Amino acid sequence: MKKMKITALLLVAAALNAPLALQAQAQEHPNLIMTKSGIEKVRQNLGAVPLFDASVQSVKNEVDAEIALGIDTPIPKDFSGGYTHQRHKLNFLTAQKAGALYQILQDDKYAKYIRDMLFQYEAMYVDLPVHPQERSYARGKLFWQCLNDSNWLVYMAQAYDAIYDTLSEQERDKLENNLFRPFADFISIENPQFYNRVHNHSTWGNAAVGMIALVMDDEELLDRALYGIEDDGLELGGRDNDGGFIKVAGQKAGFLANLEDPFSPDGYYTEGPYYQRYAMYPFLIFGLAMNHVKPEMKVFSHKDNVLLKGVDALLNLTDADGEFFPLNDGQKGMSYYTPALVTAVDIAYQYGEQNPQLLSIAEKQNQVLLDQSGLAVAMGIRDGKAQPFVKNSINLRDGQEGDQGGVGVLRHGNEDLTLVFKYAAQGLSHGHYDKLSFSLYESGDEVLQDYGLARFVNIGQKGGGNYLKENKTWAKTTIAHNTLSINEQMHFSGKYEIASEHHSDLYFYDDTKDDVQVVSATEGNAYPGTQMHRTMAIIKNEDFEKPFLLDIMKVKSDSKNQYDLPFYYMGQVLSDNFEYNSPTSLKPLGEQNGYQHLYLEGKGKPSSSTTQFSWLGDGKYYTLTSATEESDELLLTRLGANDPDFNLRRDAAFMLRRNGSGNTTFASVVEPHGSYSPVSELSVNSDSSIAELSIVHDDDAYTAVSIESIKGVRSLFILANKDAAKSKQHKLKVKGKEFSWTGPYLYTGS
């Protein structure tokens, strides 16, 4: 970045109360997201690119309806579920769209709409106090939190850029001095606890300040956006509303730090896909604006193109319906149909390598951005370039350097079976306490679920649309997840400060063989003195109708413990091969750490060493088969205890409980099979194909699991527990037969 050195000019500028110009020549507008040349191309192609034209028409209908309603900028009052919140949000969304329409259609009514709205805000903002709702650690002015004020500025900066040239210098000065600059100052220097962190909140704040800086050509603000506030005056150790740290030692700040830290080299965002989806917009939009205005700074391609990699990672963290896996705090149902992903896909296509697979996602989204990237995508679709977006297995490392665990996604076929295995870092304040947990999907259907968050986002009746207390008492707990809970405690005792210092470690990941794909990881810090090692394999064996999941959880502990391994199945119980008691009145399973929310609907003992439990999901059958010990307990639980406000879903789990063991190993198979249709009433293959599952060898060095099918065919999975090297040669005698192989595992018909 070239800084100007013409002192005289600076003095003149200061005298005029004008901003420090970044360049001696005034820049052209629009140049933030839309560019002059891009808009020209758009105009030339109007009427010739169906999806682009449809997108223009749809946005036009929306904006025209808003213009007809008239502009309302009410005095801020409500939480996210309420009117003033929704109104201000709709204002900035509509203004941004009106800006695009103005540029494309050159109809002055859109410019006038934005100008009038901005001046209403300008008139209001000067005396506007902080928002009356007091819940946030960083209250905004238009909204209850600075985060939403930042949203406003990111969008309004684009609207302002679009009509910049239609305003007189006097008008611009008024807006910039009374509205934009004070607004940017408020969310940054007046709220460093919000602005000066590595967190999705700060990313929005940084981008907001940066976007308006670029439009106003304001170097000071741009510096603040990129590098944060130098002296923020914050003390170490404060917490935000989600329990996240506000300041830790050595904390960096600003957009570049936010780009650096939460993204791994693979583009995985440590908070998880739901928040990545939310954060991608400011990342991409400000990255792109920098690319247009200051290409020489290479912000957009920072960290080896991590932003474009992030788009790819995000698309790969979806099920077959395009819904994001609800890792950590994630609202189920959020998908790549959200506008942020339209932005992401279009920008990734245009500024990446024009990947034709992205076009098929855009086709499904059925809308494009109203700029040159949206045009390029719509033209690609028109010209028949779209190819199916193929989601393969993928291992995404977590951590700035990619060395803090990760998330492994194993897929078989065309997303016929998808395993999501989490062995990541804590994920900042939105992280859950669930090391080595997993969820399982058959196409777009959850087989074993991750609960997601306990929140009804933007639904005012439910705690103002904010996080509910059950997010902490249930959703974040370990027992809420498909992983091991020991002695009814949470991983890291549920302490964020401890959890944040640790991460699980990959043991190995191997997706090279289509019919046996494996991910394996260890966790040694969640329970001090205990080492957990979980290995999960998606296997397609010809004796089985569909691919299945093999799950081996090996535990070493220096103490006797109670182990609980739940499976949150989705569907209705079909059958089982064990006896259980079913109480007439339901009581909570425990008193804390999530257990207080579980009712015990049944409690039994294994009837054999191979325990089976089947359920009927959405027209498909599933059987869980586990190698059990005589003293194991089998629990059937139902969520909903101590939930007076009905904030939790009444979901069920099958839980293996093992008492008193120090070292122990759980081995299970989750087996999808058959189908049922209420229309044909045909029940197909409703029985498991497994006759016996057993751990046939288990010591420090090796664990071997045998699966015998009902046809009497045995297969064997042997895991080398201590050396995952690909080249390492192994030899083991199992039940009198010697096996030798190279690499961390062997899977074989016996």
Q: Which residues bind a second copy (CB under 8 A)?
A: 81, 86, 331-335, 337-339, 456-462, 465, 572-575, 580, 582, 584-588, 599, 601-602, 614, 616, 636, 638, 640-646, 649-650, 652, 676-683, 686-687
In 646-689, which ranges are E strands?
Answer: 652-661, 664-673, 675-676, 683-684
Q: Closer to a second copy at the Cβ: 406 or 465?
A: 465
- What Cα–Cα distance (Å) separates residue 694 from each residue in 626, 629, 714? 8, 10, 11
SS3 714: strand
Q: Which is nearer to a second copy, 176 or 323 (CB)?
A: 323
DSSP reduced 3-state for 111? helix
The CA distance from 456 to 635, in Å, is 29
Active site residue 430: yes
Q: How many CB atoms lie within 10 A of CB 735?
A: 11
DSSP annotation of 595 reads: G
Q: Which is nearer to a second copy, 582 or 748 (CB)?
A: 582
> What does the alpha-carbon distance between residue 356 and residue 55 come to, in Å, rounded to a whole number?
20
- Name the residue with tokens 């739940």: 566
- As measured in angstroms, the least distance from the Cβ of 334 to a second copy is 6
Nearer to a second copy, 146 or 639 (CB): 639
Whose tokens are 């109360």? That residue is 17
Q: Residues 6 or more apart from 422 whose CB is under 8 A from it? A: 327, 407, 434, 435, 436, 437, 438
Which residue is catalytic, options 275, 278, 441, 599? 275
Q: Please, which residues have CB within 8 angstroms of residue 404's CB and are 6 or more apart in sequence?
A: 264, 270, 397, 398, 424, 425, 503
Which residue, 11 or 684, has its beta carbon nearer to a second copy? 684
Amino acid identity, residue 17? N
Q: Is 275 a catalytic residue?
A: yes
Residue whose CB is less far from a second copy, 251 or 331: 331
The least distance separating a second copy from the CB of residue 579, rounded to whole angstroms, comes to: 11
Closest of 192, 200, 57 to residue 137, by C-alpha: 192
Is the CB of 277 or the CB of 294 nearer to a second copy? Answer: 277
Q: How far is the CB of 652 from a second copy (least distance, A)?
A: 8
Phi-psi region of 154 (alpha: psi -120 to 50; beta: other; left: phi over 0): alpha
Judging by beta carbons within 10 Å of its beta carbon (0-12, 13-18, 19+), is residue 490 exposed, middle or buried?
buried
Distance in Å, CB of 682 to a second copy, minimum: 7
Rounded-to-integer distance, Cα 536 and Cα 518, Å: 6
- Closer residue to a second copy in complex, CB, 134/646: 646
- CB under 8 Å to 165, separation ≥6 — which residues? 29
Other CB atoms within a 10 A radius of the CB of residue 551 amount to: 25
Taking the complex as a whole, the smallest distance from the CB of residue 292 to a second copy amounts, in Å, to: 28
Instruction: Find out whether the peptide bond into 282 is cis, omega within 30 degrees of 0.
Output: no
Give the chain's end-to-end CA distance (angstroms, integer): 65
Q: Rounded to the nearest whole angstrom, what is the least distance from the CB of residue 681 to a second copy in the complex?
A: 5
Smallest gap from residue 582 Cβ to a second copy (A): 4
Which of 255/615 has CB closer to a second copy?
Answer: 615
SS3 60: helix
Least distance from a second copy to the Cβ atom of residue 228, Å: 29
| 86 vs 750, beta carbon nearer a second copy | 86
| Tokens found for residue 586 | 């339901």
User: Per the residue annotation, which of 88, 201, 430, 730 is the catalytic one?
Assistant: 430
Exposed/middle/buried for 509, CB within 10 Å: 0-12, 13-18, 19+?
buried
Instruction: Give me the residue label for tokens 């979901």.
Output: 651
> What tokens were used for 505?
């470690």
How far apart are CB 89 and a second copy at their closest, in Å? Answer: 9
Q: Name every residue whose Cβ is closer than 8 Å to that of residue 558 and which is 6 or more positions away in sequence.
A: 529, 530, 662
User: Please, which residue, 56 or 641, has the CB nearer to a second copy?
Assistant: 641
Cα 39 to Cα 102: distance, rounded to the nearest angstrom: 11
Contact residues for 7 (Cβ-Cβ < 8 A; gap 6+): none
Least spacing, CB of residue 93 vs a second copy, in Å: 10
What's 197-223 look like in SS3? CCCHHHHHHHHHHHHHHHHHCCHHHHH
Please report how close the Cβ of residue 323 comes to a second copy at its closest, in angstroms. 9
Neighbours of 26 (CB within 10 A): 9
Is 163:102 a contact under the CB 8 Å cutoff? Answer: yes
Q: Closest separation between CB of residue 646 and a second copy, Å?
A: 4
Give Cβ neighbours of residue 310 (< 8 Å, ≥ 6 apart): 263, 267, 268, 269, 276, 280, 283
Helix 273-293 to helix 200-216 angle, to the nearest 10 degrees? Answer: 20
Q: Which is nearer to a second copy, 277 or 503 (CB)?
A: 277
What's the closest the beta carbon of residue 508 comes to a second copy, in angstroms?
36
Q: Which residues of 385-417 are buried (b: 16+ CB within 10 A; e: fewer)?
A: ebeebebebbbbbbbbeeebbbbbbbbbeebbb
Q: How far apart are CA 555 and CA 662, in angstroms?
A: 8
The residues that bridge with 422 in the sheet, in sequence order, are: 407, 437
CA atoms within 13 Å, Cβ hemisphere of 181: 17
Specify the residue, 677 or 740, whose C-beta has the smaller distance to a second copy.
Answer: 677
The residues annotated as belonging to the active site are: 275, 430
